[in-house]
Amino acid sequence: MDKFNQIQKQIALLQSDFKIEEISLNDAFNRVLQEDVLADTYMPPFNKSAMDGYACRLEDIKNELECLEVIHAGMVPTRTIGSNQCAKIMTGAAVPEGADCVFKVEESETVEGNCVKCTNPKTHKNICYLGEDYQINDVLIKKGTLINVSQMAVLAGAGYHRVKVSVLPKIALINTGSELVEPHEKPEHGKIRNSNASQVISQLKRMNIEVNHLGIIEDDYDILTQVFTKAFKENDFVIFTGGASVGDFDWVPKILEDQGFEIFWDRTGMKPGNPMTFSQKGDKYCFGLSGNPVSSMVQFELIAKPVLYKLMGAKFIPFRIKATLDFEYSRKKGDRLAIVPVVINNKGLVERVPFNGSAHINSLVFANALMEIPTNQTNLNKGDLVYVRPL
């Protein structure tokens, strides 16, 4: 089994005692639901008109109909519809007793007196029936769901004005590298701006997680150890960028080992982004991401994010689709899973973007997806199907 797939198996086995809190509905978007959402009513709760029109008996559709009343939304009809009778009715209003059809106001004509006639005898019934969407006690949303926009509406419809969700983890971010300067600084020779902080912070923001950003720390074992031990006391997770590899000043793996962390993995089997550690001590965790910006981004997206969601008790399935390649792809070695920035164009085809490797974050400015080339695959033809992950 290749390394990346092995990591997926390890992620699936992770367990944690995440805490649960109850929050108000309007704060629940993009949080991990920690209860099954049950229906306390039928939906629709009554036979409901789908149109503005006239409610009548379908068998009378060709006749002139006497109009008994006007039923607006929210009102209880007062009359029962009998032979050759109707009621004017608004969208969302309760269909009166006796009626089994609503014809549209656009398909009606007024006849003398208080009567109307349907101009389309082949009308649909235009009724949303009691309980056709769901029944009392149906499970509407399952525990573990990452709450999306439409689920916000379903929660409201089911009366969940308070929602049980996972508590968000406290996360500290440390950017290691003696060559790093802040974005507002002009790098001198040999220096480089810290582009990982804003990237990782926004990845976490997308997950609703605030970050305790501890800034740039130089590649010094003692200083890094000091910052790390404080960070790991005060947070659930520490994320390092940089220093995760085998260079003389790549201290992260050594610090984790010296601090007694159990290392789950120290490489990912991905290109870019092979060196990455994930480790645990008690109920605290640490990611050591690569310093190269494309690597850290890909590592976060494909590995750190699923880990965080798993540890928050979410049933998270990364969104991948199979799309058709619009260019020839080849690489020399197929020893790792290749992750390649691409554009899914307006025809749904996968297009190339210029990409020079793990430091080339500017390439991602033009990309809207990451393409996966499986281990051992070195060539792909135009027209082949590939997995892509929209960004």
Query: Whole-number minimum distance, CB 305 to ligand AMP, in Å?
Result: 19
Q: Is 166 in the site for ligand AMP (CB under 6 A)?
A: no
Beta-ladder partners of 278: 265, 287
Beta-ladder partners of 193: 181
Query: How many CA atoms lie less than 13 Å away from 166 in the CB half-sphere?
Result: 26
Single out the residue of 34, 241, 274, 279 in contact with ligand AMP (rule: CB under 6 A).
241
Query: Whole-number minimum distance, CB 205 to ligand AMP, in Å?
Result: 17
Binding site partner of 245, from Mg ion, ligand AMP, none, Cβ cut-off 5-8 A by kind: ligand AMP
Distance CA 227, CA 238 (A): 10
Residue nearest ligand AMP, CB atom distance: 291
C-alpha R_g of the chain: 30
Only one of the segments 151-159, 165-173, 176-184, 264-272 lies at the binding site for ligand AMP (rule: CB under 6 A); that segment is 176-184
Q: Is 123 in the site for ligand AMP (CB under 6 A)?
A: no
Query: Whole-number minimum distance, CB 242 to ligand AMP, in Å?
Result: 3
Nearer to ligand AMP, 123 or 194 (CB): 194
For 71, phi then psi, to 5°, come to -110, 115
Q: CB burial class (10 A; 0-12, 13-18, 19+) of residue 105? A: middle
How many of the chain's residues bind ligand AMP (CB under 6 A)? 19
Distance CA 98, CA 155 (A): 33
Tell which residue, 70, 100, 105, has the closest CA to residue 83.
100
Single out the residue of 242, 253, 273, 341 in contact with Mg ion (rule: CB under 5 A).
242
Nearer to Mg ion, 34 or 176 (CB): 176
Binding site partner of 34, from Mg ion, ligand AMP, none, Cβ cut-off 5-8 A by kind: none
For 73, phi then psi, to 5°, come to -60, 135
Binding mask 287-326 for ligand AMP (x = CB under 6 A): ---xxxx---------------------------------
Q: What is the 3-state secondary structure (H, E, C) of 292-332?
A: CHHHHHHHHHHHHHHHHHHHCCCCCCCCCEEEEECCCEECC
For 304, phi then psi, to 5°, come to -65, -40
Only one of the segments 77-85, 236-244, 340-348, 379-387 lies at the binding site for ligand AMP (rule: CB under 6 A); that segment is 236-244
Q: Is 194 in the site for ligand AMP (CB under 6 A)?
A: yes
Q: Is 53 in the site for Mg ion (CB under 5 A)?
A: no
According to DSSP, residue 109 is labeled E
Q: Is 180 in the site for ligand AMP (CB under 6 A)?
A: yes
Query: Whole-number minimum distance, CB 240 to Mg ion, in Å?
Result: 10
Binding site partner of 179, from ligand AMP, Mg ion, none, Cβ cut-off 5-8 A by kind: ligand AMP
Contacts of residue 251, defined as CB under 8 A and 6 or more positions apart, other chains included, come to 176, 219, 220, 221, 224, 225, 243
Please name the helix (run of DSSP H) or strand (run of DSSP E) that holds residue 255, with its range, or none. Answer: helix 252-258
Query: Whole-number minimum distance, CB 217 to ligand AMP, in Å?
Result: 11
Type of residue at 54 = Y
Q: Is 272 in the site for ligand AMP (CB under 6 A)?
A: no
Distance CA 31, CA 164 (A): 9
Distance CA 326, CA 280 (A): 42
Q: Is 177 in the site for Mg ion (CB under 5 A)?
A: yes
Nearer to Mg ion, 153 or 223 (CB): 223
Distance CA 162, CA 81 (A): 41
Binding site partner of 196, from Mg ion, ligand AMP, none, Cβ cut-off 5-8 A by kind: ligand AMP
Nearer to ligand AMP, 244 or 302 (CB): 244
* First-to-last C-alpha distance (Å) of the chain: 27
Query: Whole-number minimum distance, CB 154 to ligand AMP, in Å?
Result: 41
Could you list the residues that contact Mg ion (CB under 5 A)?
177, 242-243, 291
Could you list the residues that contact ligand AMP (CB under 6 A)?
175, 177, 179-180, 192, 194-196, 241-245, 247, 250, 290-293
